[in-house]
Amino acid sequence: MTTNPLEIARALAGQFTILREIGQGGMGVVYLARDDKLDRPVALKVLPSDSSDTVARERFLREGRTAARLAHPNIVPIYRADEMGGIAFFTMAFVDGESLADRVRDRGPLQPADAVRILREVAWALAYAHARGVVHRDVKPENVLLERATGRALVTDFGIAHTAEGMYGEPKLTQAGAVLGTLQYMSPEQVAGETLDGRSDLYSLGVVAFFMLSGKLPFGDFAGAAVIIAHATRQPPSLRDVASEVPAALARVVDRCLAKNPDDRYATGEALADAFERALTESPALPSAAAVADDRSTRLSETEANAIWRRAAQLQADALRRLESRADLLTQPSSTTSVKPLAASDASSPDDSGYAIAHVVAAAQEAGISNQYVAMAMAERPQSKSGHALAAVDPALGVSERTATLYLGTQERSLAVTHVVEGTPARTLRVLGTVLQQMPYQLKFRETVGAHPLDGGVMVFDLPILSMLARGAPEAVNLYWMGASRQLLARQVQVTLRRLPGDKPRTEVTMTCDLRTGVRRNVRVSQWFAGAVGAVAALGSGILATGPAAAAVVGVGMAAATFAWYRWLYPGVFEKARGEMLNSLVAVGAVVRSEDVFGALTRDTIP
């Protein structure tokens, strides 16, 4: 691709403003642009300027015209197809999200229920196109976009779509026997250059389904011409042979899509969508990703639910004030809101009791508390030796809040730092997992609470254990977390990612640390120091002074001075720990920037 963005910007000046490149394909380069006339973001697809082939140029513009005739909720809408200043282009809706290929690459195979929802939407879109004489011919994960806000699947890139000859009065541009498409997703008849109908797209969708549910391709071990031969002559493996956890009913639907003979496949996209739905109902307890995440602790007791609300509100101080003004949300149904904690009688099973996590989250949202802080509060739940959550979600400080604040000089019981990384969430996640788990940070990943980290879930890391000497032999000592881990007795940190809106890919990374576990010890240390110093001073003064009154005054004075010193010291350690956390995130951002120059780094290449 040799299209120069500056050349495009000059040619389209006054109509569109080019913001950044967002993708490339066989038929053009796609940019995020702003429609200056309508003041809205659009995806601008441009034919490479070195493409002088008139047939290719006409095929490119025909893509825009073909897709523009397809008005369906699961097809990316086309706004305009045109030429200006020698630049052939068309504009379409900008889908704020990711491709299906990115989703599987970043998170692995989808849960069956989530995969079925997407596959049905794609099948409906293809059925709509087929009914209008349009065969996509390049159905693949890269051409299925997932809208971030709704999860809706949208089919895009009709660059090599075939319309029935004479359809819409357009000439046929593809020569007989010509093979166009993506090798790993081609149907046998497409490989053979035969006349295609909608069942060819359904074969390709079957390959997509195979990939979504297993993370692999039916003929992934083949390359080049061997892939073409395999699609035409070899029987693909059964999905269950590759991914045994996929329900049998769903695997049978996918296997039928991959039949060599089009007559053995589903006749229409509607029939395939219905088959996916039946497979979902026939398969017992097919989970979605949200259900899998929620299954970590299906029900919460009233004590647990209230403790999570309180802790989440502490992590989001502004929400705490709103929550305190709406105490009825925590104790009884509110006449001002439709969301309330789930009662035992509302449970999905007669044997269930307590609060569903989804309702705990909804109630917190109603109080203005972000999901991020609720997930962090969930991540802080103490675990038993068996790994199950204990009943007490909010561990007692061992001392009253008033006493703790008196001796420690601060009401803070947690730390949170945020850093913006100039990169996509997926890229930031990869680098973060490498950087934070090696020297000097040496965090140890424990689990993800809630959804996948790219969907708002919380990553929980254990802080390294500090040990100075072992059996007289010096050990490597991790001095990096001395403030957080050794002095404040922190045990874990939680990390969340959030994609920031804007023209450039930017990710907000937040690290939070719960410090309540060290409050009791630090109060006791403060009390012990003050008492010990006061006693020693009183004893020394009693020996030198003329009477016990003077000794008592000296002792009390030294105890007060020590007390004041510890009240000054403890908040300072807070700031030291905050710096440790922030610097670790800054290091993640620095490695992302380095990759722009040196390419992707690995655990072994990061200093």
Higher-scoring residue by pLDDT: 224, 260: 260
pLDDT bin (cut points 50, 70, 90) of residue 550 is low
pLDDT value of residue 162 = 61
Q: Is 138 a catalytic residue?
A: yes
pTM summary value = 0.66
Tokens 């120091």 label which residue? 529
Strand-strand pairing, 134-135 and 506-514: unpaired
Contact 29, 46 (CB under 8 A): yes
pLDDT bin (cut points 50, 70, 90) of residue 475 is very low
Strand-strand pairing, 299-300 and 473-474: unpaired
Report, as an integer, the average pLDDT of 454-467.
80
pLDDT bin (cut points 50, 70, 90) of residue 280 is confident
Choose the CATH number for 5-93 among 3.40.50.300, 3.30.200.20, 3.90.650.10, 3.40.190.10. 3.30.200.20
Report, as an integer, the average pLDDT of 139-168.
78
Report, as an integer, the average pLDDT of 511-522.
77
Q: What percent of the chain has pLDDT over 90?
A: 28
Choose the CATH number for 97-287 among 3.40.50.150, 1.10.510.10, 1.10.390.10, 3.40.30.10. 1.10.510.10
Structure confidence by residue, pLDDT tens digits, 331-366: 443 333 333 333 333 333 334 456 666 666 666 666
Structure confidence by residue, pLDDT tens digits, 109-135: 998 989 999 999 999 999 999 999 899
User: Which residues, listed in sequence order, are joined to residue 410 by a DSSP beta bridge?
Assistant: none
Residue 470 has pLDDT above 50, yes or no: no
Q: What is the mean pLDDT of the chain?
A: 75
pLDDT value of residue 387 = 40
pLDDT value of residue 178 = 46
**Torsion angle of the four alpha carbons 477, 483, 485, 491, in this order, in degrees rounded to the nearest 10:** -150
Q: How many residues are there in the chain? A: 607
Among residues 135, 159, 149, the alpha carbon closest in space to that of 81 is found at: 159
Question: How many alpha carbons fall within 13 Å on the CB side of residue 128?
Answer: 18
What 3-state class would DSSP assign to 528? Answer: helix
Report, as an integer, the average pLDDT of 67-77.
89
pLDDT value of residue 232 = 87
pLDDT bin (cut points 50, 70, 90) of residue 236 is very high
Q: Which of 65-69, 472-476, 529-533 has the lowest mean pLDDT?
A: 472-476
pLDDT value of residue 6 = 83
pLDDT value of residue 366 = 63
CA distance 135 to 426: 33
pLDDT value of residue 294 = 53
Six-digit token pair at 583? 């610097």
Contacts of 409 (CB under 8 A, 6+ apart): 566, 567, 568, 570, 571
Contacts of 41 (CB under 8 A, 6+ apart): 19, 32, 33, 34, 35, 94
Higher-scoring residue by pLDDT: 534, 507: 507
What 3-state class would DSSP assign to 160? Answer: coil
pLDDT bin (cut points 50, 70, 90) of residue 328 is very low
Tell how far CA 566 is from the center of its chain.
42
pLDDT bin (cut points 50, 70, 90) of residue 322 is very low
CA distance 248 to 228: 28
Structure confidence by residue, pLDDT tens digits, 402-442: 776 776 777 777 788 889 999 989 899 999 999 999 888 98
Structure confidence by residue, pLDDT tens digits, 7-25: 888 888 889 999 888 887 6
C-alpha distance from residue 152 to each of 155, 272, 374, 499 (Å): 10, 18, 26, 18
CA distance 175 to 165: 12
pLDDT bin (cut points 50, 70, 90) of residue 52 is low
Q: Which of 35, 39, 138, 604 is catalytic?
A: 138
pLDDT bin (cut points 50, 70, 90) of residue 390 is very low
